[in-house]
Amino acid sequence: MLKEARALSWIVNLLGELRVPFQTVGGLAARAYGARRVLVDFDFYVPTVTLERVSAAAEDHLVRPPKHHRDENWDITFMILEYEGQRIELGGADGARYFDRLRGVWEPVAIDFGSSVLCRVFDIEIPVMPFDELAAYKRALDREVDHRDLMEMEPW
């Protein structure tokens, strides 16, 4: 089993055991829709209130505890885990924002965990941001990595 598959299986199992809803976003979600670039990390949104609980349960793998972060792209509370060398980022969906470069405005992250699409990645079933939402999100972020994902993703 690939290290990516082991890490994905680990985080999916951990979130399941903790009963934490999550939605896969970023490059891993793009992979679910056909993108093939090398993944730097796995990105997930979870309810912000669950970050501390996940942090405590995964303390042996904690790289960055949950705290607020703002840069040119994100205004979010998030944490970083690492499992067998695979970086895993969990962002709090509540109150998170991203910068829409096309319109020049901050947009709230509107995550509806119930609208997730179940997809298989590394032969593991995960809840993924719906294709249209992911494509719009990546178009708005307008980074080089997003352009590549958009070119490789295929609508369902």
DSSP 98-155: EEETTTTEEEE----GGGPEEEEETTEEEEE--HHHHHHHHHHH--HHHHHHHHH---
pLDDT of 152 above 60: yes
Nearest to 60, CA basis, from 44, 78, 40, 84 = 84
Half-sphere exposure of 129 (CA within 13 A, CB side): 24
In a domain, residue 109? The reply is yes
The percent of residues in the chain predicted with pLDDT above 70, rounded, is 98
pLDDT of 96 above 90: yes
Q: What local confidence, expressed as pLDDT, does residue 128 receive?
A: 98
In a domain, residue 155? The reply is no
CATH of the domain at 19: 3.30.460.40
In a domain, residue 152? The reply is no
Nearest to 116, CA basis, from 135, 137, 130, 133 = 130
| Segment 133-138 mean pLDDT | 95
In a domain, residue 70? The reply is yes
CB atoms within 10 A of CB 60: 8
Q: What local confidence, expressed as pLDDT, does residue 98 receive?
A: 96
| Segment 66-89 mean pLDDT | 97
| Segment 113-123 mean pLDDT | 97
Band of residue 154 on the pLDDT scale cut at 50, 70, 90: confident
pLDDT of 155 above 80: no
Q: How many domains does the chain have?
A: 1
Could you tell me the residue range of the domain that residue 89 belongs to? 3-147
In a domain, residue 154? The reply is no
Task: Give me the phi and psi of 155, to 5 degrees please.
Answer: -65, 150
pLDDT by residue (tens digit) across 5-58?
A: 999 999 999 999 999 999 999 999 999 999 999 999 999 999 999 999 999 999
